[in-house]
Structure 1
Amino acid sequence: MLTILPAAIAVSALAAIIADWREQRPPLFKLLKPLTTLLIIALCASAPDSAYRNLLLAGLALSLIGDVALMYESDRAFVTGLSSFLLAHLLFVYAFIHELPLAMPAYGWAVVAYALVFAALLLPRAPAPLRIPVLVYGLVLCAMGLAALLRWQSVGNDNSAYALAGALLFLLSDSALGVRKFFGFYRGAQGLILSTYWAAIALIAGSAQSL
């Protein structure tokens, strides 16, 4: 099962990106996008039962809702997707730092600096009604990156490294999404956003395999 699922995830993700290469959202893409995330949820569900795994599963389920919402272009769909992912990130934060001492590593300031610079560039371009939701989302996304850093520093095993890599890729994916949303379309945007997003949640899901 564990050897089949990563291959199935990769094939489904690649097929979805190819199906949506011209960003026209064909019916096949609308099937493959949630399917890829469902396969990643199955990967997480195959891990041994633990509070950590169950928190990740809840976060991934919310990510699936966000996936579906962001297949549509309206501001309402964007806010729905943003809200779903915000709640998902809060669950990931709690999963990463649950029962760990809270002491941010010095290199965590690099994540903070990145978030501040990106927010300074992005927020002025966001429509006024979206600025507060985008700011709150950015703060929670930054917190997830810091929580993953803290987990890696405290636990130090391969699985905490997977969680950290996943959190940082999530930061990259959402940054690419923000640029496309508020700065405008750029070539390869969808492929970059989707590939880094699915890699991110697959790594986070994989971090539950052995604690």
Structure 2
Amino acid sequence: MTSVIKVVKNVGPKLVPYFKTVAIYFVIFVPQDKPSIFSTILKCLPIISLMLFVVLHGMSLGEEYKYSRRILTGLIFCCIGDAFLIWQQYFDVGMLAFIIGHIYYISAFGFKPVNLPLAAVLYFLATLVVLYLLPGLHGIFIVGVPIYIMVITTMLWRAIARVQFFEDLWTWSKLCTCAGGILFTLSDLMIGIDRFKYNIEYAQVLIMSTYYAAQVGIAVSIVDAKTAITANKNK
């Protein structure tokens, strides 16, 4: 298991562009009701920085980088989704891009261990959220939003299920995906409430801060993913 000190030393310098672009986003802070090419670039820069981080950490077509490739592809589609969500008329296209991004995250996290009790609880809560948002949905969102909620719930399930605290089998990779999955779901829940139910005060700040934190958690999870695969091979 990768130590905290090793993670910080390895990850810190490579994440400097990410932290700088996040700071720039919140300092300039273009309101979401004023979409532009500039605000689109500003919003996407932190995710592009995370994509660069994943590539710099190591990338090839080998089995040891399968996890990193899937996380990178997920980030790419999320970045595309970010760009479309800036423009309200393309919200559905952005949502589709995020669905694809989550599918890649799910494929990276895998389905072992299964943890069916956790799945039952999460899908039950997801159903309650669907029923809560349903009266405010219209058009394609009547179908699209429930599908999206179930996909992100699956991502959350797989992110949390990877962490096995009681079996002492957790790693920083798994812990980061768990935190990232929870924050991602929280961010999207706020988007759903703000768009389809009622306006949340300081919604953009809350949504983007939890979203960026979620994405860095998922991206950082590649740090010891290669080590884990290599260890399994050696066994």
| TM-score normalised per structure 2 | 0.80
Distance 1:21 1:184, change over 3 A: farther
Structure 2 counterpart of 1:17, one-letter code: F
1:39 paired with 2:49, answer yes
Aligned position for 1:144: 155
CA distance in 1 between counterparts of 2:121 and 2:19 reads 30
Report the 3-state secondary structure (helix = DSSP H, G, I; strand = E; otherwise coil) of the residue aligned with 2:87. Answer: coil
CA distance in 1 between counterparts of 2:221 and 2:48 reads 17
Structure 2 counterpart of 1:93, one-letter code: I
Structure 2 counterpart of 1:145, one-letter code: L
Q: Which runs of 5+ in 2 are unaligned?
A: 1-9, 60-64, 226-235
Report the 3-state secondary structure (helix = DSSP H, G, I; strand = E; otherwise coil) of the residue aligned with 1:187. Answer: coil
Conserved 8 A contact 2:112-2:162: no
1:81 paired with 2:94, answer yes
Q: CA RMSD in A?
A: 2.0
Percent identity of equivalent pairs: 24
Structure number, greater radius of gyration = 2
Report the 3-state secondary structure (helix = DSSP H, G, I; strand = E; otherwise coil) of the residue aligned with 2:115. Answer: coil
Offset at residue 73 of structure 1 (A) = 1.1
Structure 1 counterpart of 2:40, one-letter code: K
Offset at residue 5 of structure 1 (A) = 3.5
1:134 paired with 2:145, answer yes
CA distance in 2 between counterparts of 1:80 and 1:22 reads 21
1:53 paired with 2:68, answer yes
| Residues 126-152 of structure 1 deviation map (CA, whole Å, 9 limit, x = unaligned) | 114311111111110000011112222
Which of 106, 112, 115 pairs up with 1:104?
115
CA distance in 2 between counterparts of 1:131 and 1:208 reads 35
Conserved 8 A contact 1:17-1:190: no
Aligned position for 2:104: 91
Distance 1:127 1:17, change over 3 A: farther
| Residues 50-109 of structure 1 deviation map (CA, whole Å, 9 limit, x = unaligned) | 1000011111110111010001011xx111101000011011101101xx5352253444
CA distance in 1 between counterparts of 2:12 and 2:21 reads 15
Offset at residue 42 of structure 1 (A) = 1.2
- Aligned pairs for 1:151-166 (under 5 A) are 151-153=162-164, 155-166=169-180
CA distance in 1 between counterparts of 2:142 and 2:28 reads 32
CA distance in 1 between counterparts of 2:30 and 2:193 reads 18
Offset at residue 28 of structure 1 (A) = 4.3
Structure 2 counterpart of 1:164, one-letter code: C
Report the 3-state secondary structure (helix = DSSP H, G, I; strand = E; otherwise coil) of the residue aligned with 1:106. Answer: helix
Structure 1 counterpart of 2:71, one-letter code: L
Distance 1:14 1:118, change over 3 A: farther
Offset at residue 175 of structure 1 (A) = 0.5
Structure 2 counterpart of 1:209, one-letter code: V
- Aligned pairs for 1:110-121 (under 5 A) are 110-121=121-132
Report the 3-state secondary structure (helix = DSSP H, G, I; strand = E; otherwise coil) of the residue aligned with 1:190. Answer: helix
Structure 2 counterpart of 1:144, one-letter code: M
Distance 1:121 1:36, change over 3 A: same
CA distance in 2 between counterparts of 1:94 and 1:191 reads 30
| TM-score normalised per structure 1 | 0.89
Distance 1:152 1:46, change over 3 A: farther
Offset at residue 120 of structure 1 (A) = 1.3
Aligned position for 2:4: none
